[in-house]
A and B are shown apart, each in its own frame.
Chain A
Amino acid sequence: MSPDAADRAADVRVQAADFDVAAEIAALRAGDARVGAVATFVGTVRDVSEGAGVATLTLEHYPGMTEKSLQAIVDEAKRRFDVYGVRVVHRVGELAPADQIVLVAVTSAHRGDAFDACRFVMDYLKTQAPFWKKEATPQGARWVEARASDDAAAQRWRR
């Protein structure tokens, strides 16, 4: 299997299990010596949100649409930027503070496209991919509200 086909086969995953960032990067690089830059973003659970302590964070998604939505974002990133591989791993289910939530990893020849593609994928994921967060706090459970700043971040890439 070519490096491109290997990348494509594992572009996006939605899973309850944790992920190993080093292992994901190694798999994405796959010994490809064309790669000169690897950019990664890892989103993690904070223990405070809107002034309240967070005991657990539960992530719900829309099975069937989630993977398609993430793949469409990855495909668009590959179209816009000069990148070799893009990988997105997003967890679902109940998480605890400091747990990893999401990984975006990008390989490219140079840092500019790697950084830009990584940020593009996260900005679109935040506004387009069907995930929802529910926080358990001492005051009870509550759904996290979407932020206008996330829409603004995605809007920057419109063209």
Chain B
Amino acid sequence: MRDSPPVVVRLVYLARLREALGSAGESLALPPGAPARVATVLETLRARGGAFAAELGPGRAVRVAVNHAMAQADDAVGEGDEVALFPPVTGG
């Protein structure tokens, strides 16, 4: 087994989610050995508990964009990717 460094992504929190989490964003290192996917990012954040578990938990509508494109749970994330988390959009 190779000893590869963890994938680090840049998180961006927007709108209501930014206020609820009290942060506009941060760097996140994914757990070593875990698949580098959107779902892993969400699981890693939920595991912190508190506002993260409450806001990103089951039944909460959270949208994710990877490098400015809408993404699904199974989509891959890579080193340095910008991963944005936000509520369903309400423009127009």
Contact = CB atoms under 8 A, between A and B. Distances in A.
Interface residues of A, number: 27
B88 interface: yes
Contacts, number: 72
Contact of B89 (A43, A102, A132): A132
A101 interface: yes
A60 B17 CA distance: 12
Interface centre among A61, A65, A69, A134 (most CB of B within 10 A): A65
A126 B70 contact: no
Contacts of B16: 132, 143
A131 B84 contact: no
A133 interface: yes
B39 interface: no
Nearest to A146: B88
A102 B14 contact: no
A122 B90 contact: no
A69 B6 CA distance: 30
Contact of B68 (A64, A122, A125): A64
Given A60-B15, A65-B84, A146 B89 contact: yes
B68 A68 contact: yes
A132 B92 contact: no
A144 interface: yes
A54 interface: no
Contacts of A127: 88-89
Interface string A140-157: 000111100000000000
A128 interface: yes
A64 B12 CA distance: 12
Given A60-B14, A62-B84, A132 B91 contact: yes
Interface of A: 43, 59-62, 64-65, 68-69, 90, 101-102, 122, 125-134, 143-146
9 contacts: A62-B65, A69-B68, A101-B92, A126-B89, A132-B91, A134-B15, A143-B15, A145-B90, A146-B89
Top 10 nearest A-B pairs by Cβ distance?
Answer: A131-B91, A146-B88, A132-B15, A65-B68, A143-B16, A126-B92, A144-B90, A133-B90, A125-B92, A129-B91
